[in-house]
Structure 1
Amino acid sequence: MSLKQLPPESRPREKLLARGALALSDAELLAIFLRTGLQGMNAIELADHLLKQFGSLRALLSASQAQFCDYKGLGPAKFAQLQAVVEMTKRYLAETMKKGDALTSPENTKQYLSSMLRDRHREAFYVLFLDNQHRVVEDEILFEGTIDAASVYPREVVKRAMQHNAAALILAHNHPSGIAEPSDADRRITRRLVDALALVDIRILDHFVVGDGEVVSFAERGWI
């Protein structure tokens, strides 16, 4: 059955306009993006099929061009469109976070850090540099590889913080294993950084560890 044959309240676009995006399933949202289906398969059915093939919406969004275009009905044009949507989402989260106090919306901060770090195949050590109003003035990945005392250099973090005239920092790194639980090494390097930055009167407000579906906050654990 084509989408036009469905009652209006069951068509994804009409449903979104009437009830809002939260009312739609992953398949319905994807169907709006796809716009058309294939022979014998409407857009919702195609979307549902793709989600089952990739395993999840996240897996589809993070697929490589070769993986994405390997499926009938998907090509470079749709891949480019989808990547544009993903990038716009990241920029929206970044802009939302940077406009205000990074600590007033911890969930926004977690969402942003998750979007930046979750799908990386290597560990990345990410720093948000904040002014004295806790607004983000700069953010960057300082180190990549295994995050431990041997690969994160407090002197370099202090140097970059002073270059950005930061009053405080928020640290983050990902666990490619998908398990967000901080390791003993994570706690040791955090303590070293807290001590090093305290010498130049710069505070570390939090350290987030990003996993597959969870983001752990050191501050919420009482470790900072």
Structure 2
Amino acid sequence: MRLKDLPASERPREKAFRYGFEALSNVELLAVIIGSGVKNASALDISARLIAKVNGLHNLRLVSLEKIKEVVGISDISALRLGAVFQLLSRIEKSQIDADIGPKSPQDIFNKYKDYFRGETQEQFILLMMNKNDEIISEKKMYKGTSQYFPVSIREIISELLSAKCFHFIIVHNHPSGETSPSDNDLIATKVLFDEALRLKIKLRDHIIIGKENYYSFAEHSLINMREK
């Protein structure tokens, strides 16, 4: 069905104007960005196909423009619009991080990232890097899908720390199972990372594992000292 054949109150743009963006479904929000459909497919149809193509809305910002354009009905302009939206979102998140002063409490970090990790089926890893004044100067999201092992190599982390010229850092990763207790591999890798970073005079402040409804902090369990003595 074409959008113009829908009652005005059910068309995404009209709904947004009348009730606000909060009233729109994920498919409807995407349809507003996509703008128009093609023959035999409305913007709503195209939006639904796009979400299905990437296996869920949470994966949409991770895929390339080329992948988005594989969906029938997505034009170059529509793909660029989506890419621009995701880039703006990333910059907004970055600006919020830049304004934050750290190190934050484990609870603060859990509150900040729990929705980001919600629904993820693979482990992902976030590196928060701080200067000598404990200000967060960089956030690095390192996507390494796995369900069994520490998601990022020690070498990759050290490389990022040196590039950022940070003094302290916090690592955050999720357990898709919802279980927050660290695995043996988490414990071993964290100890190795702590020692390797300290050798370079960079201090690991905490390793936080985020589950579905709670978190595990290595610092709170006295596995890492948050402050150097």
Structure 2 residue aligned with 1:152: 154
% same residue: 26
Q: Paired residue for 1:14?
A: 14
For 1:179-194, list aligned pairs within 5 A.
Answer: 182-194=182-194
Whole-Å separation in 2 of the counterparts to 1:162 and 1:81: 31
Work out the CA distance in 2 between the residues paired with 1:98 and 1:61.
21
Report 1:52-67 matches (<5 A). 52-67=52-67
Q: Which residue of 2 aligns with 1:42?
A: 42
Change in CA separation of 1:60 and 1:204 when aligned onto 2, cut-off 3 Å: closer
Deviates more, 1:58-67 or 1:15-24: 58-67
Could you tell me how far apart the structure 2 residues matched to 1:215 and 1:85 are? Answer: 30
Distance in 2, Cα, partners of 1:100 & 1:89: 17
Q: Return the offset for 1:93.
A: 1.0
Structure 1 length-normalised TM: 0.66
TM-fit CA distance, 1:136: 0.8
Unaligned runs of 5+ in 2: 225-229
2:203 and 2:121 mapped to 1: Cα distance? 28
The letter of the residue matching 1:186 is: D
Q: Using a 3 Å threshold, how does the CA distance of structure 1 residues 190 and 50 change in structure 2: closer, same or farther?
A: closer
CA distance in 1, matches of 2:6, 2:23: 17
**What residue in structure 2 maps to residue 110 of structure 1?**
113
Equivalent AA in structure 1 for residue 14 of structure 2: E
Deviations 1:160-193 (A, max 9, x none): 39943x2x31124578xx6576431221232344
In structure 2, how many angstroms separate the alpha carbons of the residues matched to 1:140 and 1:23? 32
Deviation at 1:29, TM superposition (A): 0.7
Which TM-score applies when normalising by structure 2? 0.64
Q: Which moved more, 1:53-62 or 1:199-208?
A: 199-208
